[in-house]
Structure 1
Amino acid sequence: MIASEEDARAFVAARCSAASFGLLERFAAALLDENAQQNLIAAASVPHLWRRHVADSAQLLDHVSRETGVWLDLGSGPGLPGMVIAIMRPGLRVHLVESRRRRYEWLEMQCLALGIPNCLVHGARLETISTVPADIISARAFAPLPRLLELARRFSTNDTRWLLPKGRSAAQELAELPAALQRMFHVEQSQTDAEAGILVGCGKISAKARQA
């Protein structure tokens, strides 16, 4: 379990190149600066930025193969986890979906400032985004689980990996899904919070599965 900022930085550094880690440090500093202008992360989490946000995002990479192609991150907010993933894995094509103007404009600025050509920011609601088959779909704080799956299912394929950090409600939210969807997902322990979980699933979400 990651218990400190030092542990968090070491955890992240072990999962990316030195160049990527340097970009993450710049991104983290920019995030803190911007947080004074708009509420990107909770004030209480600022002293724990690397554990609560950077490492919390980076741990999702432990659940996918390095060959993954297209990563779709829903409700990216300040780029968590999407921007962190794009920096750590420059070979991935990472799509960030964020409808709030100040946030998506800031994300676009960071992509340019840090030189992250593999990251594409969609400044729009998910409902208006063109369908792109996604190898990975992540969402850290996007919508209640049934609504999330309904909106995102058109991007899923038979091989799509779902990575949905759900905090302490992970098991409960899974239990409330229809049986067919329950069989597609399981809960993984978060490495940054002993009481939090990540819903991990695989497959295409069909209209029939949502009702079965």
Structure 2
Amino acid sequence: MTEDEARAWIAAHFDVSRETLEKLDTLVRCVVEESTHQNLIAASTVPAIWARHIVDSAQLLLYARGPWLDLGSGAGFPGLVVAALTDETVTVVESRRKRIDFLNQTAERMGVGDRVSVIGQRVELVESQPFSIISARAFAPLDKLLDLAFRFSRPETIWVLPKGKSAKAELDQVRQTWQGAFRIEPSVTDPEAGVIVATDVKPRKIKPGKAR
């Protein structure tokens, strides 16, 4: 997917006003500028930032809408993209100080600061509360992610987890300890990658004497 194709994909799938495009352009500028000071995204992906990061994040909105929790948001993918393309409230969790500052400043520059809450803590320390949507991109292996984030979910919570080429392998690995309505959707940015989409996620009951 070229950068022009990525912009066209966004326009074709969302009600994109000039203001919305300006928000996304602002996010791109902020990430590129800040990447000279800290390692927000791989340098090799900067020339393809719309395809590799904007569309890769935006595609999650094909499967879920609602108050959103994004874990390990880093450069704002997908959290700030969701905030740009919707009117939803978005909570992003990030523990690294420079990235916390970047997320706060960028949300304000994009004009979405009133709907974006940045929690500057490790996920383990964040107060439990339920969310309609949970996302995490390049944050943790699926088994660890489910362990960390389960307390933020309800049965109806939609999990949208881009997992690249490891999606099937990671999902197969957790099926013995976790249950739910899991499926893998193909990524629009990489035919070999997948997005795990799930609801009704919960740990399986383990027989006494059998450790998880």
TM-score by length of 1: 0.91
Give runs of aligned pairs for residues 140-151 of structure 1, distance below 5 A. 140-151=137-148
SS in 2 for 1:184: strand
- Residue 74 (structure 1) aligns with: 71
Query: 1:167, 1:195 within 8 Å by CA — same for their partners in 2?
Result: yes
Give runs of aligned pairs for residues 10-89 of structure 1, distance below 5 A. 10-14=8-12, 15-18=14-17, 19-65=19-65, 68=66, 70-89=67-86
Kindly provide the amino acid, as one letter, of the partner of residue 13 in structure 1: A
Query: 2:181, 2:201 within 8 Å by CA — same for their partners in 1?
Result: no
SS in 1 for 2:52: helix
- Cα distance, 1:180 vs structure 2: 6.3
Question: How many aligned positions are there?
Answer: 205
2:102 corresponds to 1:106 = yes
**RMSD (Å) for aligned C-alpha atoms:** 1.7
- Residue 89 (structure 2) aligns with: 93
SS in 1 for 2:202: coil
Deviates more, 1:128-137 or 1:54-63: 128-137
Structure 1 residues 111-158: Cα deviation after superposition (integer angstroms, max 9, x where no partner):
222221111101111111111211000000111111100010000101
1:8 paired residue among 6, 9, 27: 6
Query: 1:166, 1:196 within 8 Å by CA — same for their partners in 2?
Result: yes
SS in 2 for 1:176: helix
Give runs of aligned pairs for residues 111-190 of structure 1, distance below 5 A. 111-116=107-112, 117-179=114-176, 181=178, 183-190=180-187
Kindly provide the amino acid, as one letter, of the partner of residue 37 in structure 1: H
- Cα distance, 1:182 vs structure 2: 5.3
SS in 2 for 1:192: coil
- Cα distance, 1:32 vs structure 2: 0.4
Identical-pair percentage: 43
- Cα distance, 1:184 vs structure 2: 2.5
Structure 1 residues 87-128: Cα deviation after superposition (integer angstroms, max 9, x where no partner):
1112x1100000011001110011222221111101111111
Kindly provide the amino acid, as one letter, of the partner of residue 103 in structure 2: L
Query: 1:174, 1:182 within 8 Å by CA — same for their partners in 2?
Result: no
Query: 2:132, 2:157 within 8 Å by CA — same for their partners in 1?
Result: yes
| Partner Cα distance (1:182, 1:198) in 2 | 17
Unaligned residue ranges in structure 2 (runs of 5+) = none
Distance 1:113 1:183, change over 3 A: closer
| Partner Cα distance (1:86, 1:150) in 2 | 26
Give runs of aligned pairs for residues 171-210 of structure 1, distance below 5 A. 171-179=168-176, 181=178, 183-206=180-203, 208=205
| Partner Cα distance (2:136, 2:74) in 1 | 10
Unaligned residue ranges in structure 1 (runs of 5+) = none
| Partner Cα distance (1:135, 1:205) in 2 | 15
SS in 2 for 1:205: strand
